A and B are shown apart, each in its own frame.
Chain A
Amino acid sequence: MQNMTSNEFVTPTYMNGLKAGFPIALGYLVVSFTFGMTACLNGFTLYEAVFMSMTNVTSAGQFAGMNLLISGTKYVELLLTVSIINIRYLLMSTALSQKISRTMPLYQKFILAFGVTDETFTVASVEVETITFPYFMGLVTLPYLGWSGGTFFGSLMDTFLNPDMQHAAAIALYCMFIALVLPPMKHHKNIRHVVFATMLIRLTMLLLPVVNQLSSGYAIILSACIGAFYGAYLEHKTSTEVNA
């Protein structure tokens, strides 16, 4: 079994998690750098910006929350906005809760949950068969440092990387996604169907009136849900057929 699946899964150790976390950290560095800079330009202190990154660890939610706090928001509005933007974590944590080692104690789950982000979730669900505590902690280590550190440096100074380097580095995260999705696509027919269906739905949503007014966060969640639902449907239709 181990040999048969070695192409698709890596062993869930701390070191393997750490390695997988490196490109995520790099992508985070650029985004959080921007966050730190924007926050400080808008009147946040360095401590507030870094504290927000260290306790929230989420990009869209932080940018939105920052905007609301600047414009003098009410607690209810802040709570609602952050909940809606981050509701996708409910889906991700649900999926992860099915993949973690069954013997994991509750306190480790409480720690692990803190590190669930779009990127750590996707890497963990694709790279390993069973998510262990050491693997996930390894995976989260560098992205967490990148996220907090990027915010710190962004708050400190205006230019860190030259603009061309910042722009080029912004593609790293997406290329990592490609590297994650292509190998399983080669080996698993239904994953191919899901990927192409999701792509089609996502692009169609950009062209349709009304629907293209959705924020990209909602558009991503909606097209991904339809794509995965389609995959589940295909699997059931052909449940007798075994996929490679």
Chain B
Amino acid sequence: MKPIYGIILMALTTYIIRVSPFVLFRKKIESPFIQSFLFYIPYAILTAMTIPDIFYSTHFVPAAVAGTLVALLLGWFEKSLITVSMSAVAIAYIVITLFN
């Protein structure tokens, strides 16, 4: 198989999965249970994607822990996404260069 055909097949498959709910669910979903499930799902996915993967993200656990603590502190004080993530990257980089 030529890679290009495979790539096109992958792209079509992925797009159909992404677009079909927008076409199928033209009306608002009525069920309050499903509504609240859909309300909570992003927070749950964010959490499940972050824990425990964040600790392995930098290839040096102490750097990741330092970055995580900074992010938790700044996040708690509701700083912007850029501030939180860039501060954590800076701290992680410092810890890597100093201790690894």
Which residues on A are within 8 Å of B, measured CB to CB?
Answer: 7, 19-20, 22-23, 26, 44, 48, 51-52, 55-58, 61-62, 65, 68-69, 72-75, 78-79, 82-83, 86-87, 89-91, 93-98, 100, 102, 106, 109-110, 112-114, 116, 118, 121-123, 125-126, 164-165, 167-186, 190-191, 194-195, 198-199, 201-203, 206, 216, 219-221, 223-225, 227-229, 231-232, 235-236, 239
Q: Is the CB of A223 within 8 A of B74?
A: no
Contacts of A65 in B (CB 8 A): 6-7, 10
CA distance A145 to B36 in the complex (A): 33
Interface of B is mostly: helix
Tell whether A236 pairs with B57 under 8 Å between CB atoms, given A61-B10, A194-B43, A227-B44. Answer: no
Which single member of A44, A62, A122 contacts B45 (CB below 8 Å)?
A122
Task: A83-B13, A93-B20, A236-B33 are known; give 4 further A-B pairs, CB within 8 A.
Answer: A93-B17, A164-B100, A175-B75, A183-B75
Chain B's nearest CB lies how many Å from the CB of A136? 12
Give the residue name and chain of the B residue nearest to A169 (CB): B89
CA distance A75 to B6 in the complex (A): 7
Q: Is the CB of B53 within 8 A of A174?
A: yes
